[in-house]
């Protein structure tokens, strides 16, 4: 039984988690840094606790401060949201070994899936297709060249503890291997405190498709179907949708069942996402994100299942509240990440005060945000203002409704990515769903700044 939860995060995901907790009858505790003293997630919670300075390393990433906050506020549980410490194995283990309930995947699962070579081995053992690659980290650029001699160029050198494009270097020929190897190891050490790297065949024009899964502590794992996240800039997702227009029904069922079976084999519990690359009718395992995802909302929109509530139920020892046969997606949905960035200037961040903030309303529109009008977008953290989730009967109607919603939105005081989103919605390649992960680099016509 969870009576009070501390949300170890900020912004829109902290608001989202608190809303679900309140609906389940829990009290909520927000944490805040100096920069977030009056933030929306603080105002939303039943109580709040100061955890440090504006720098994330001395507040939202400070494990001692967060555990102290949970103790001082008599919280029963800690929910990490996404980002910050959400996939930090050591923090999860500390919570598991404490008096608090950890609302997330177990630390052992984070350890297994946090190392990409280990994750590949788990999924391979479960019969899930994986991209051809090394089974162990490589120690020398000559091993990269040897792998490429067998499988052909290009190949990808990847940080073993990585994700989100960090520590990923593409090698197009042997002359690039040495420098790419050094750079991948350096980024792995800097971002993940792990300089181990491995090599795999690089797919040049794939779709990025992921499957939402959730498991309980009684051995049950369900999937909630897929999301297509192929609109990316520098491996960062900008638009997500479900269902993927690239898949036929047979492939969809095969891919989703592979994701479910793969994590079930590993004894996974709580929410997670299994990511795949899809090219020429074949799909390959990429990685598991052992946490709630930013884009979980599009899955909720078509399934009607509250994924965060299910996380709480699982953490409290309950069984999942639905059967696999109960998961029947209806319609289509897209999520647009509205960032405080200028798309006309290389998406540079534009922190500042929201002088005007009037998000869209109307049928089929959901807004998950962490701000209100007159709030400030801080330069210290991610530039996400909020997420607009648009749902309709089919993809065509979603596209039209999305244009209406974005055009109705009024935001002054900062630049946002809305002009970019509108340009994509008018782009023939995207409208016809002929895009891949290389869409923005190779297929998109760009913004009209006239």
Q: What is the band of 214 on the pLDDT scale with cuts at 50, 70, 90?
A: very high
pLDDT of the residue at 445: 80
Report the percentage of the chain scoring pLDDT > 90. Answer: 88
Query: What's the mean pLDDT when you consider all of the chain?
Result: 95
Q: Which parts of 24-128 fold into alpha helices (H)? A: 40-44, 63-72, 89-96, 107-114, 116-125
pLDDT of the residue at 9: 98
Q: What is the band of 449 on the pLDDT scale with cuts at 50, 70, 90?
A: low
pLDDT of the residue at 447: 84
pLDDT of the residue at 164: 65
Q: Please say whether the beta carbons of 357 and 372 come within 8 A.
A: yes
Coil, strand or helix: which one is 389? strand
pLDDT of the residue at 160: 84
pLDDT of the residue at 442: 87
pLDDT of the residue at 450: 53
Q: What is the band of 192 on the pLDDT scale with cuts at 50, 70, 90?
A: confident
Closest by CA position to 307, among listed 105, 94, 125, 134: 105
Q: For residue 268, what is the DSSP state?
A: -
As a whole number, mean pLDDT of residues 83-87 equals 95
pLDDT at 67 exceeding the cut of 90: yes
Which domains, and CATH codes, for the chain?
A: 4-101 (3.40.50.20), 132-201 (3.30.1490.20), 207-443 (3.30.470.20)
As a whole number, mean pLDDT of residues 33-39 equals 97
């Amino acid at each position: 039984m969870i009576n009070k939860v501390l949300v170890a995060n900020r912004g829109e995901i902290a608001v989202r988690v608190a809303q679900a907790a309140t609906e389940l009858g829990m009290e909520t505790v927000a944490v805040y840094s100096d920069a977030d003293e009056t933030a929306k997630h603080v105002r939303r919670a039943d109580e709040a606790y100061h955890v440090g300075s504006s720098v994330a390393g001395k507040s939202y990433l400070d494990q001692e401060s967060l555990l102290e906050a949970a103790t001082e506020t008599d919280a029963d549980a800690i929910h990490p949201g996404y980002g910050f410490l959400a996939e930090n194995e050591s923090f999860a283990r500390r919570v598991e070994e404490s008096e608090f309930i950890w609302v997330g995947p177990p630390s052992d699962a984070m350890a297994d899936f946090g190392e990409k070579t280990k994750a590949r081995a788990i999924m391979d053992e479960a019969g899930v297709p994986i991209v051809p690659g090394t089974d162990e980290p490589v120690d020398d650029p000559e091993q990269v060249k040897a792998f490429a001699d067998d499988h052909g160029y290009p190949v990808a050198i990847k940080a073993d503890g990585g994700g989100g494009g960090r520590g990923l270097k593409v090698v197009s020929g042997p002359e690039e291997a040495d420098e790419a190897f050094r750079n991948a190891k350096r980024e792995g050490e800097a971002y993940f405190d792990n300089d181990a790297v491995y090599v795999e065949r690089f797919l040049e024009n794939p779709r990025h498709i992921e499957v939402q899964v959730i498991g309980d502590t009684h051995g049950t794992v369900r999937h909630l179907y897929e999301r297509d996240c192929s609109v990316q800039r520098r491996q960062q997702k900008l638009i997500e949708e479900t269902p993927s227009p690239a898949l036929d029904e047979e492939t969809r069922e095969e891919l989703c069942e592979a994701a479910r079976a793969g994590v079930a084999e590993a004894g996974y519990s709580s929410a997670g996402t299994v990511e795949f690359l899809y090219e020429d009718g074949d799909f390959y395992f990429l990685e598991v994100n052992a946490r709630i995802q930013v884009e979980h909302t599009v899955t909720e929109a078509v399934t009607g299942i509250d994924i965060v509530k299910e996380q709480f139920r699982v953490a409290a020892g309950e069984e999942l509240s639905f059967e696999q046969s109960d998961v029947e997606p209806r319609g289509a949905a897209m999520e647009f990440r509205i960032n405080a960035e200028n798309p006309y200037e290389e998406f540079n961040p534009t922190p500042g005060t929201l002088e005007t903030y009037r998000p869209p309303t109307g049928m089929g529109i959901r807004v998950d945000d962490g701000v209100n009008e007159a709030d400030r977008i801080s330069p210290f953290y991610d530039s996400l203002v909020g997420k607009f989730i648009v749902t309709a009967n089919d993809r065509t109607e979603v596209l039209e409704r999305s244009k209406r919603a974005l055009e109705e939105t009024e935001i002054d005081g900062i630049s946002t990515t809305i002009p970019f989103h509108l340009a994509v919605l008018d782009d023939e390649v995207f409208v016809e769903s002929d895009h891949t992960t290389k869409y923005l680099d190779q297929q998109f016509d760009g913004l009209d700044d006239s």
